[in-house]
Structure 1
Amino acid sequence: MPAPVRRLFPDCLWEMPATNPPTIYLTFDDGPIPEETPFVLETLARFNARGTFFCVGDNLHRHPEVAQEVVAQGHRLANHTYHHISGWRHSRARYLQDVGQCQALLDALQPEPRPLIRPPYGRITIPLAQALNSTHQVVMWDVLTYDYDRDFAAEKCLHHAIRNTRPGSITVFHDSLKASRNMRYVLPRYLQHFSEQGYRFERL
């Protein structure tokens, strides 16, 4: 993400401090769904990795058993709005209502003192970011894998993700049907590559 954009949203979390051993913070957007989230969980378990799942509320409502398995395996659930809506196309009141609807489901599954939220598409305004940060930590990213882009070859996704990752990176994958082809190729190879480099994978 360009530096000028980051400066517009200084209270959003873009990356984590570098640590020793180096750590990557894996995040997964748009689930949970039974078609893709179990694959993510199985892959993470193979590498003793933890992640943060930014959940669409409607998917939480439809598939609570998948969300419960995410929690049972030591990962973190977070807010991705109830209907996956854009902060550029809805009023602040409508957007916050949608966030609250999703958060009610999350609180029943994994209550947090200060929950996390990632705006769908990364699209928020400055006033909306300020409103969200009063109740949540807004999480953005510094590595976007483009696994959701079907015009992006899986090998290119992997190369792009590896090239742009550094200690403390917050990396975005998607446990969605749209991202399935690329995500299933990239995620295990990404974890394998950085495991061999001595990295850990933690939840936020």
Structure 2
Amino acid sequence: MFIEQIPVWLRFIKGIKWRFSHKKKTIYLTFDDGPIPEITPWVLVLLDKYHIKATFFCVGENVSKHPQLYQEILRRGHQTGNHTYKHIKALCTPNEEYFANVEKAASLIHSKLFRPPHGLMRYSQIKELRKHYRIILWDVVPRDYNRKLSPEKVLQKACRYTRNGSIIVFHDSLKAEKNMTYALPRYIEYCLSKGYQFELL
């Protein structure tokens, strides 16, 4: 399938949220990998236009480089979450090193929300981190970062797989810029036309 899927076993582990209740026509807009001055301000202006609040899972190193931009995210009423300090892969990193990287990010990102880069962790890492964080994954990621995909295809698949309670992830990154800046406003318009409401996690 085009959309990256959360491994089935992760969906049954306590302490991980990948989708909310299907009973409400509500979706949860999230962004990964920022903040960066080239992209994040554009996202903030767009969200203000539609009066939408979102959750930004920030890379600690980017927060360290752009602290005023991080504060602007908060000032505008959005949430933030921890996305590690260096955007490291959990499965390729020893546990203690991974936890230290998360905690380094936590010194800058004061949030109880955590999303692992690439959506994968060892069970031993999950067990430890869920003691301290709400681990948030997703059920829709339109792969806006994939430069082999057209902006139209990214939008098409994002709309197709969104459903009640969906957590969708876009990326405020240079890699995703072309696809995301095309797809995001059109995706928002689509969701509003279908009667969805956007809420914070």
Kindly indicate whether residue 15 of structure 2 is the aligned counterpart of residue 17 of structure 1.
no
Percent identity (aligned): 43
Cα deviation for residue 2 of structure 1 reads: 5.5
Instruction: Give the one of 136, 139, 144 matched to 1:139.
Output: 136
Aligned 1:116-195 pairs, distance under 5 A:
116-195=113-192
Show structure 1 runs of 4+ deviating over 4 A: none
RMSD over aligned Cα, in angstroms?
1.3
Q: Please say if residues 11 and 18 of structure 2, whose CA atoms lie closer than 8 Å, have aligned partners that are also in contact.
A: no
How far does the alpha carbon of each residue in 1:15-65 deviate from its partner, in whole angstroms, 9 at most, with x for none? 111354x11100000000110001111111111111000000000000011
Instruction: Give the one of 85, 91, 100 matched to 2:103.
Output: 100
Aligned-partner Cα distance in 2 for 1:178–1:68: 23
How far does the alpha carbon of each residue in 1:92-143 deviate from its partner, in whole angstroms, 9 at most, with x for none? 0000000000011012xxxx4xx01100011211111111101001111000
Residues 95 and 2 of structure 1, relative CA distance in 2, 3 Å threshold: closer
The two structures have a TM-score, normalised by structure 1, of 0.93
Cα deviation for residue 167 of structure 1 reads: 1.1
Name stretches of at least 5 consecutive residues in structure 1 with no aligned partner. Answer: none
Instruction: Give the one of 40, 56, 67 matched to 2:43.
Output: 40
Q: Please say if residues 8 and 126 of structure 1, whose CA atoms lie closer than 8 Å, have aligned partners that are also in contact.
A: no
Cα deviation for residue 8 of structure 1 reads: 5.5
Q: Please say if residues 6 and 119 of structure 2, whose CA atoms lie closer than 8 Å, have aligned partners that are also in contact.
A: no
How far does the alpha carbon of each residue in 1:123-168 deviate from its partner, in whole angstroms, 9 at most, with x for none? 2111111111010011110000100000011101101000000011
Q: Please say if residues 118 and 139 of structure 1, whose CA atoms lie closer than 8 Å, have aligned partners that are also in contact.
A: yes
Aligned-partner Cα distance in 2 for 1:190–1:144: 12
User: What's 2:32 paired with?
Assistant: 29
Q: Please say if residues 59 and 82 of structure 2, whose CA atoms lie closer than 8 Å, have aligned partners that are also in contact.
A: yes
Name stretches of at least 5 consecutive residues in structure 2 with no aligned partner. Answer: none
User: What's 1:55 paired with?
Assistant: 58
Aligned amino acid, residue 67 of structure 1: Y
The two structures have a TM-score, normalised by structure 2, of 0.94
User: What's 2:74 paired with?
Assistant: 71
Aligned-partner Cα distance in 2 for 1:11–1:169: 17
Please give the secondary structure, in 2, of the residue aligned with 1:27: strand
